Structure 1
Amino acid sequence: MVKKIYVLKVGTTFPAVEAQFGDFDDWTAAALGSGTAVGLVDVEGGDDLPPVAHCAAVVITGSHAMVTDNLPWSVALEAWLRAALETDLPILGVCYGHQLLGRAAGGEVGDHPKGKEIGTVDLTLLPEAESDPLFENLPKTFPVHTTHRQSVLRLPEGATRLASNAYEPNHAYRLREMAYGVQFHPEYNVDIMRAYIEGQREELEKAGKDVAALLAEVRDTPVAAQLIRHFAAMVSLREGGD
């Protein structure tokens, strides 16, 4: 049996964004690359989670839900992740996935005290990233796309913190051998990022955000865009591929 990298879809984007650009699972599958065997599990939609032994790895998407809502599908996935971590299954959690993975391993998730982080922001790698297989060859500082209100407020015991910025100290971390959480969105491009800002314009303006400035700051994130494909390449090597 050829094991697949399963995309665990835990949310759906705004209808207008989906109509123009597709959804979280589309962007993630594209980022994994056409040569990767990919399976889709719509967790939020009620699909059964795959047996861990059938997975080469999993990538958990973003979501408009909140981890602290403790929705039934999310609680079930959290328990599944807890068991998967014990097998050293390669995991990449993005945004919501980053937070849920962190809580599954014993960390704390909640509303960020500074409110929402949104737009293209600069990220700084920490010294621990220099020897990390996923981050070691990246520049020390690079831009990423973000949109989140909740965060991993406290990392799980034993986690290795890999990247931060002035707003978010836990932008990336590693658990065990190859389980990663990234708060930013490596699967976004500039059009998706702009659409997310526009889609939340009213909320952002009520919060005192300068929407025009946020839109002006949106730019390409070529370094971040490599991460999901690099993760897939690491999984392939682990599985004995080329």
Structure 2
Amino acid sequence: MTSLVIIKTGDAFPEVVDQYGDFEQLFINQLTTALPEHVSLSVWDARKQGVPSSPTSFAGIMLTGSHSMVSEQEPWSEALKPWLVQALDENVPMLGVCYGHQLMASAFGGISDYHPAGRESGTRNVRLTQAGNQDPLFSMLPSHFPAHLTHAQAVMQLPPNTTVLAHNSHDAHQALRYGPRQWSVQFHPEFTPAVMHAYIERQKAALRDQGENPDALIHAITDTQAASGLLRHFLRFI
């Protein structure tokens, strides 16, 4: 039995945890039915447990979102960077989400910081680049699809030798590939419409402050089966 490890980098809002589960549980909910018999799921909380054992001891790695900010360089987060570089060097399959996306880009030589246009929240359209349409993982998705998003920071400068696989009107770096089996996404493939709704409810004041209409964002929430499918498609590479 080999293990796909979910690196936990933060907690969802308490009301989300109570009703739907924490970030890692949202991943597990999407993955359980598609998990190969020979692969188990494990969770590693990097904030409490430190750096995991050698990346090659895992069949694959996923990194969750967080309410922390990569640019704040918290010690537990910085300690993960050399481990992520080692995982990339050893071609361990990886998929980072939101904070995980920004942390991977930062670890590999890019810059993650606050987006000058502010927060992006809600169900937004994401479009594949030409490279995305030809990518072994992202070519399994439609050329454009809705995805759930909630982030204030973004990958502002790409690492060397990184391929942009998807973008939208807010963020030029919605999905990236760093190596043969190493990807990251700014959007949340693990979110359900109910979780997205809860996030916008929590962020209403902040969204109004930047000129957004939270009620319109809630009304625009849709199902994101294509985006969610990314997690299950990733299992083919472990």
Q: TM-score, normalised by structure 2?
A: 0.95
Deviation at 1:47, TM superposition (A): 4.6
Counterpart position of 1:15: 14
Shift of 1:44: 1.7
Secondary structure of 1:8's aligned partner: strand
Q: Which residue of 1 aligns with 2:180?
A: 177
2:98 alignment partner in structure 1: 95
Identity %: 39
Say yes or no: does 1:201 pair with 2:204.
Answer: yes
- Does residue 99 of structure 2 align to residue 105 of structure 1? no
Q: Return the alpha-carbon distance in structure 2 between the equivalents of residues 40 and 138 of structure 1.
A: 27
**2:86: which partner in 1?**
83
Give the Cα separation in 1 of the matches to 2:154 and 2:139.
Answer: 24
Match of 1:50 among 53, 57, 62: 53
Corresponding residue for residue 129 of structure 2? 126
Shift of 1:23: 0.4
Q: What SS class does the counterpart of residue 11 from structure 2 fall into? A: coil
Answer with 224-233 or 45-54: which moved more: 45-54
Secondary structure (helix, strand or coil) at the match of 1:5 reads: strand
Structure 1 window deviating more from structure 2 (43-52 vs 68-77): it is: 43-52
Tell me the CA shift for residue 233 of structure 1: 2.3
The residue type equivalent to 1:64 in the other structure is: H
| RMSD value, Cα | 1.1
Name the residue aligned to 1:64.
67
Equivalent in the alignment of 2:191: 188
Moved over 3 A (4+): none
Residue 212 of structure 1 pairs with residue 211 of structure 2: no
- Report whether the alignment pairs 1:39 with 2:38: no
Match of 2:140 in 1: 137
Larger mean Cα displacement after TM superposition, 188-197 or 205-214: 205-214
Q: TM-score, normalised on structure 1?
A: 0.94
Matched, 1:163 2:166: yes
Counterpart Cα distance in 2 of 1:183 and 1:173? 9
Partner residue, 1:234:
237
Distance in 2 between the 1:100 and 1:67 partners?
A: 6
1:48, distance to aligned residue in structure 2 (A): 4.4
| Alpha-carbon contact 1:60-1:93 (below 8 Å) kept | yes
User: How far is 1:148 from its partner?
Assistant: 0.4
Residue of structure 2 aligned with 1:223, choices 219, 223, 226: 226
CA contact 1:33–1:229 (8 Å) conserved in 2 = no
1:27 corresponds to? 26
Contact residue 105 and residue 156 of structure 1 kept, 8 A? yes
Greater Cα offset, 153-162 or 91-100: 153-162
> In structure 2, the residue corresponding to 1:136 is in which secondary structure?
helix
Indicate how the Cα distance of structure 1 residues 119 and 176 shifts in structure 2: closer, same or farther if over 3 A, else same: same
CA–CA separation in structure 2 for the residues paired with 1:88 and 1:216 = 41
Q: Which runs of 5+ in 2 are unaligned?
A: none
What amino acid is aligned across from residue 139 of structure 1 in structure 2? Answer: P
Partners of 2:160 and 2:132 in 1: how far apart?
18
The offset of 1:199, in angstroms, is 1.0
